[in-house]
Amino acid sequence: MASTMLSLASTTPSASLSTQEILKGKARLGSGRVGTLLNKEKGNPFIKAKSFGRISMTAAVNVSRFEGVAMAPPDPILGVSEAFRADTDVKKLNLGVGAYRTEELQPYVLDVVKKAENLMLERGENKEYLAIEGLAAFNKATAELLFGADNPVIKQQRVATVQGLSGTGSLRLAAAFIERYFPGAQVLISSPTWGNHKNIFNDARVPWSEYRYYDPKTVGLDFEGMISDIKAAPDGSFVLLHGCAHNPTGIDPTPEQWEKICDVIQEKNHIPFFDVAYQGFASGSLDADASSVRLFAARGMELFIAQSYSKNLGLYAERIGAINVVCSSADAAARVKSQLKRIARPMYSNPPVHGARIVANVVGDPALFNEWKAEMEMMAGRIKNVRQKLFDSLSAKDKSGKDWSFILKQIGMFSFTGLNKTQSENMTNKWHVYLTKDGRISLAGLSLAKCEYLADAIIDSYHNKFCNNVHWYYIPVSFDWILDPGLHKSK
């Protein structure tokens, strides 16, 4: 009970919502209601909204029916982007971006994607509705990519795969499925995690609580805390795990740690729920990046996996991903798939065809597939190089003896620098380096040429500005993570 209330409290700071109200569906855990709540003049929205409504109904037509709608808080990430755009300093650097940039800091459309699109246009394919579950060729390709074509779960047809709207959409389908078929079950999410995870579960009305993950002292994984919290949760909880390249920390468990995590999840009859947004993009190897998922599948467990092709195929705006549910039998997989469809139909009927065809074409053609692997290695390689250069610059310039090796140990697009809010503000105000207030930088937005400058900024901020010796690694305000990308997005 307490942990559920905690999860609600952290998203609705100024109102206490009884769980009774939530079960009745009256409370909207989504941020929309919080937006209203934050408008203090309105008071308790459940009372005020109604009485205001009665007043407005008898008043003349001049009053808007939506007068009571509060302005949602401005997006913190967008604010970063806007401030970056407004900044005229030539040295400015945007490390809030969650999209890959070249060394020239330009967006990148993969060559294989351009080739696939040209092929598609030449073929003159039609634009008929896809099935509710999406493009069959895509669904087959995506499951095989995740598990390996020879994996027993594939051969035994035990995976229910439904095309979804990139990672977010796939997570949302799964969340809605959990709400419907596992009522009351909660999802354990890492502290910290990608900010939109909470919004997704809130809007789907799935309770969540957190397990310890990031250890600010080591700038690494709080493994004991993680295991302990997973053990403490009620049996049969869902455990949200990042398949690789944890967002926002960049800190992944080691293979040995993954085995232990799997053990404790099995002991507790928990259901693993992987968010895989970086397969191939983290290490450069599609298989290596899928090893955590494959480990769990090999144990014979049932699990959920949300996939995204935003980063690894650079298909951000095409919204292409999938939800996969590994079941203990082909029959269960068929039933689960049919119910996922019933969730998708009243949400958007059927998914968009364009991104699905691109993926199917790239994965389905051996030449294109190999080219893709090479481009992915190139992207992952660039990020690794940048990590190395940043580490080298920091080590060379910083005389304090601080260990900066976490930059090399972390993996993926992001790095948790360990800088707190005040220090992050110094980065921006003094050095014109834009990052999120939790100290997360996007290496995808860093070029080799800028590493030295960034090192100077980090060293200065770290040593000269701190706040009560306390490291803030997570800001418990719900909207820090809401994104309105424009040009920039984190994840």
Partner 1 sequence: MNPELASPSSSSDRRISVLARHLAGVEMDSKNDSISAFPTSGSDNNSVFSHVVRGPEDPILGVTVAYNKDPSPVKLNLGVGAYRTEEGKPLVLNVVRKAELLLVNDRSRVKEYLPITGLAEFNKLSAKLMFGANCPAIQENRVTTVQCLSGTGSLRVGAEFLAKHYLQRTIYIPQPTWGNHPKIFTLAGLSVKTYRYYDPATRGLNFQGLVEDLSSASSGAIVLLHACAHNPTGVDPTFQQWEQIRKLMRSKGLMPFFDSAYQGFASGNLDADAQPVRMFVADGGELLLAQSYAKNMGLYGERIGALSIVCKTADVAARVESQLKLVIRPMYSNPPIHGASIVAAILKNRDLYNEWTIELKAMADRIISMRQKLFEALRARGTPGDWSHIVKQIGMFTFTGLNSKQVSFMTKEYHIYMTSDGRISMAGLSSKTVPHLADAIHAAVKQVV
Give the residue numbers annotated as catalytic, written as ranges: 194, 275, 311
CB of 120 to partner 1, least distance (A): 9
Angstrom distance (rounded) from CA 77 to CA 1: 33
Q: Does 41 bind partner 1 (CB under 8 A)?
A: no
* Distance of closest approach, residue 212 Cβ to partner 1, in angstroms: 19
Rounded to a whole number of angstroms, the minimum distance from the CB of residue 463 to partner 1 is 36
247 near partner 1, judged by CB under 8 A: no
Torsion of CA 39, 489, 79, 36, to 10 degrees: 0
Select the residue interacting with partner 1 from 40, 61, 89, 469 (CB under 8 A): 61
Taking CB under 8 A as the rule, which mask of x and - marks residues 311-330 in contact with partner 1?
A: ---xxxxxx-----x-xxx-
Instruction: Specify whether the CB–CB gap between 219 and 242 falls below 8 A.
Output: no
> Least distance to partner 1 from the beta carbon of 112, Å?
13
CA-to-CA distance for 472 and 416, rounded, in angstroms?
11
Q: Which of positions 345-374 make contact with partner 1 (CB under 8 A)?
A: 345-355
Query: How many Å apart are CA 461 and CA 444, to the nearest integer?
Result: 21
Q: Does residue number 185 form part of the binding site for partner 1 (CB under 8 A)?
A: yes
**Of 16, 19, 228, 254, which lies in the binding site for partner 1, with binding defined by CB under 8 A?**
19
Our finding on whether 189 is near partner 1 (CB under 8 A) is no
48 by Cβ neighbours in 10 Å (0-12 / 13-18 / 19+) ranks as middle
- Which residues from 117-146 bind partner 1, rule CB under 8 A? 117-118, 121, 124, 126-132
Nearer Cβ to partner 1 (220/352): 352
- Listed as own residue / partner, the contacts of 435-439 with beta carbons closer than 8 Å and 24 or more positions apart are 435/80, 435/95, 435/96, 436/76, 436/77, 436/80, 436/96, 436/248, 436/480, 436/490, 437/76, 437/475, 437/480, 438/192, 438/248, 438/472, 438/473, 438/474, 438/475, 438/480, 439/472, 439/473
> Is residue 63 within the footprint of partner 1 (CB under 8 A)?
yes
Tokens standing for 340? 């996922």
Pairing mode of beta strands 271-276, 303-308: parallel
Site for partner 1 in 260-319 (CB under 8 A): 269, 271, 302, 310, 314-319
C-alpha 11/C-alpha 14 separation (Å) is 9
Nearest residue (CB) to partner 1, 181 versus 218: 181
At residue 391, the 3 state secondary structure works out as helix
Number of residues located near partner 1, criterion CB under 8 A:
115
Beta carbon nearer to partner 1, 96 or 418? 96
466 binds partner 1 (CB under 8 A): no
* Closer residue to partner 1 in complex, CB, 189/394: 189
Which CB, 66 or 366, lies closer to partner 1? 66
Q: Under the criterion CB under 8 A, does residue 95 sit at the interface with partner 1?
A: no
Minimum distance, C-beta of residue 71 to partner 1, in the bound complex (Å): 5
The least distance separating partner 1 from the CB of residue 167, rounded to whole angstroms, comes to 8
Three-class SS of residue 94?
A: strand
3-state SS, one letter per residue, for 151-172: CHHHHCCCEEEEEECHHHHHHH
Tell me how far CA of residue 157 lies from CA of 122, 131, 353, 427, 434, in angstroms.
Answer: 34, 19, 24, 51, 47
Q: Which of the stretches 382-390, 433-441, 469-477, 481-489 binds partner 1 when contact is defined by CB under 8 A?
A: 481-489
Is residue 149 a contact residue for partner 1 (CB under 8 A)?
no
Instruction: Tell whether residue 236 is a contact of partner 1 (CB under 8 A).
Output: yes
Any contact of residue 1 with partner 1 (CB under 8 A)?
yes
Cβ atoms within 10 A of the Cβ of 235, count? Answer: 9
Selected binder of partner 1 within 96, 207, 418, 439 (CB under 8 A): 207
Query: Could you give the CA distance from residue 288 to residue 292 in angstroms, rounded to a whole number?
Result: 8
Bridge partners, residue 84, by sequence: none
- What is the smallest separation between the CB atom of 220 and partner 1, expressed in angstroms? 29
Could you give the CA distance from residue 336 to residue 349 in angstroms, rounded to a whole number?
Answer: 17
156 binds partner 1 (CB under 8 A): no
What is the closest distance, in whole angstroms, from the C-beta atom of residue 409 to partner 1 in the complex? 29
